[in-house]
């Protein structure tokens, strides 16, 4: 089944180990994206070669290393469909993720964004002695773009992802703050449709930088509240 217009954007940096599984989960959707864009963010491994090995099944773009926000923005600029989805190169979709979110958006003409739940899983290559305590509970994480299905208009109205270094670890949460502030409609699906891989190279393993990003986001939210007061 073909979708009525989904562009799927996969930002990728040194993701060769997991990229095939991510792409395959997109290609195996019950409603398939009409366009898949892999944006290679200056990788030094075989990420770009893997993406290109899929031939015409996707579009592979490369750029100098910036960050995941810049890669997502590049994908948005290249997207030619009215609905936008994202998938991190080390994660994977449940088979009916796009179909269910597309139906949810179709049922709510006022909604600009559909969210779903996500659940973490340990990558099989992660040594057991390196696995920290994790609560594997399905969650809504609006700051995780992989859980989104958005109308393209959302980015016209709320803007694209901030490329500021302050939000390197929280760019999804920062733009979601703007989405909320703009009063754009959001619909939620109460099921896990995205599986997030936990492995040694996750961005959030840099705990100091992750905390700095959270603090920058909190300051941003306070500033916005003051502006609205």
pLDDT tens for the chain, 229 residues long, are 445 699 999 999 999 999 999 999 999 999 999 999 999 999 999 999 999 999 999 999 999 999 999 999 999 999 999 999 999 999 999 999 999 999 999 999 999 999 999 999 887 876 676 666 666 778 999 999 999 999 999 999 999 999 999 998 899 999 999 999 999 999 999 999 999 998 677 655 444 544 554 555 455 545 555 666 5
Find residue 32's DSSP bridge partners.
2
pTM of the predicted structure, to 2 decimals:
0.86
- Calpha distance 154→34 (Å, rounded): 19
CB distance 10 to 194 below 8 Å: no
Mind listing the domains of the chain with CATH numbers? 6-228 (3.90.550.10)
Q: How many residues does the chain have?
A: 229
CB contact at 8 A, 187 and 111: yes
């Amino acid at each position: 089944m073909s979708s009525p217009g989904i562009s799927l954007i996969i930002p990728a940096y040194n993701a060769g180990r997991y990229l095939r599984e991510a792409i395959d989960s997109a290609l195996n959707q019950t409603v398939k994206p009409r366009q898949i864009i892999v944006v290679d963010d200056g990788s030094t491994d075989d990420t770009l070669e893997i993406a290109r090995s899929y031939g015409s099944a996707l579009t592979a773009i490369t750029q100098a290393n910036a960050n995941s926000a810049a890669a997502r923005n590049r994908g948005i600029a290249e997207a030619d469909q009215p609905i936008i989805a994202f998938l991190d190169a080390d994660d994977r979709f449940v088979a009916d993720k796009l179909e269910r979110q597309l139906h949810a958006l179709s049922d709510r003409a006022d909604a600009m964004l559909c969210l779903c739940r996500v659940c973490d899983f340990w990558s099989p290559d992660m040594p057991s002695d390196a696995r920290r305590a994790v609560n594997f509970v399905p969650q809504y994480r609006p700051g995780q773009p992989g859980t989104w299905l958005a109308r393209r208009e959302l980015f016209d109205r709320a803007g694209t992802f901030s490329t500021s270094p302050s939000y390197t670890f929280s760019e999804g949460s920062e733009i979601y703050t703007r989405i909320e502030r703009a009063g754009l409609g959001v619909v939620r699906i109460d099921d896990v449709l995205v599986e997030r891989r936990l492995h040694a190279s996750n961005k959030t393993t840099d705990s100091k930088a992750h905390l700095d990003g959270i603090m920058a986001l909190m300051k941003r939210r306070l500033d916005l509240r003051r502006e609205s007061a």
